[in-house]
């Protein structure tokens, strides 16, 4: 195997090891049937039990990658041992990177893009809008890119930036896909401001 082919196989392995574990969050919720309860991307989403549930689903898909990653890890080990070593190293590199990336949260790293706290906070805001004494009499909170605000009185209810919520993205297919791979579901704002998801006034 010449060097060029080896490099090609290595990157093929990296690609596959990057894509496979993220498959649940990249693909599972993007079909139209899954998103009938939500306005199309990138419009703000009204707070509702559907939204709360979606955040919890995305959180599940996020952690599911730690299970799915066993596939490229195993395939990588088998390839190094019996098959194409370059391909196997590519798989091992990207899939073990994913494992470290997911586990860094437990040693004080960045919180995942979707958390239980986030879902709870959304539900609390939705409940507050239901009862009187919220921001205004006809409170209707929506989750926009930069936070939760009321469309009736324009009050900002939370600074929580909105992560990807599994809707089909507005960008054309390869671009939306690359964007998701690059951001891993985080709101692009969370990279600049570095605010945890629990900021609320």
Q: Which residues bind Zn ion (CB under 5 A)?
A: 135-136, 139, 150, 152-153, 155
Provide the token pair at 82.
Answer: 């019996």
For Zn ion, the closer of residues 30 and 156 by Cβ is 156
Rg (CA), the chain: 20
Please state at what angle helix 85-103 crosses helix 49-68, rounded to 10 degrees. Answer: 140
Of 71 and 136, the one with the shorter C-beta distance to Zn ion is 136
Our CB check for Zn ion shows the closer of 150 and 165 to be 150
Least distance to Zn ion, CB of residue 136, Å:
3
- Cα separation, 17 vs 100, in Å, equals 13
CA dist 5 and 92 (Å) reads: 18
Nearer to Zn ion, 101 or 152 (CB): 152
CA pair distance 55, 114, nearest whole angstrom: 6
Which two structure tokens, joined as six digits, stand for 189? 């704002």
Do 42 and 145 meet the contact criterion of CB atoms below 8 Å apart?
A: yes
Q: Taking the complex as a whole, how short is the minimal distance between the CB of residue 120 and Zn ion, in angstroms?
A: 21
Q: Which residue's C-beta sits nearest to Zn ion?
A: 150
Name the minimum Å distance from CB 148 to Zn ion: 11
Q: How far is the CB of 155 from Zn ion (least distance, A)?
A: 5
What are the structure tokens assigned to 150, written together? 């009321």
Identity of the residue, 70 or 153, whose beta carbon is nearer to Zn ion in the bound complex: 153
Question: CB-wise, 47 or 58, nearer to Zn ion?
Answer: 47
- Measured from the CB of residue 153, what is the shortest distance to Zn ion in angstroms? 3
Strands of the sheet with 45-46, listed across from one edge? 45-46, 141-143, 148-150, 156-158
Least distance (Å) between residue 199 CB and Zn ion: 20
């Amino acid at each position: 195997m010449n060097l060029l082919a080896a490099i090609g196989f290595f990157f093929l392995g990296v690609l596959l090891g990057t894509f496979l574990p993220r498959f649940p969050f990249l693909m599972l919720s993007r079909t139209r049937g899954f998103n009938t309860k939500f306005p199309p991307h990138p419009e703000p989403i009204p707070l509702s039990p559907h939204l709360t549930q979606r955040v919890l689903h995305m959180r599940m898909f996020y952690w599911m990658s730690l299970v799915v990653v066993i596939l490229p890890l195993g395939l990588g080990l088998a390839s190094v041992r019996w098959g194409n070593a370059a391909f196997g190293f590519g798989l091992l590199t990207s899939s073990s990177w994913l494992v470290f990336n997911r586990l860094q949260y437990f040693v004080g790293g960045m919180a995942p893009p979707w958390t239980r706290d986030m879902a709870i906070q959304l539900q609390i805001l939705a409940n507050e809008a239901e009862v009187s004494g919220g921001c205004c009499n006809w409170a209707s909170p929506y989750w926009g890119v930069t936070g939760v605000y009321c469309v009736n009185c324009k009050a900002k209810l939370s600074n929580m930036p909105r992560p990807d919520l599994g809707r089909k993205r507005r960008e054309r297919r390869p671009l939306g896909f690359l964007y998701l791979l690059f951001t891993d579901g985080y709101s692009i704002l969370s990279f600049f401001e570095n605010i945890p998801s629990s900021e609320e006034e």
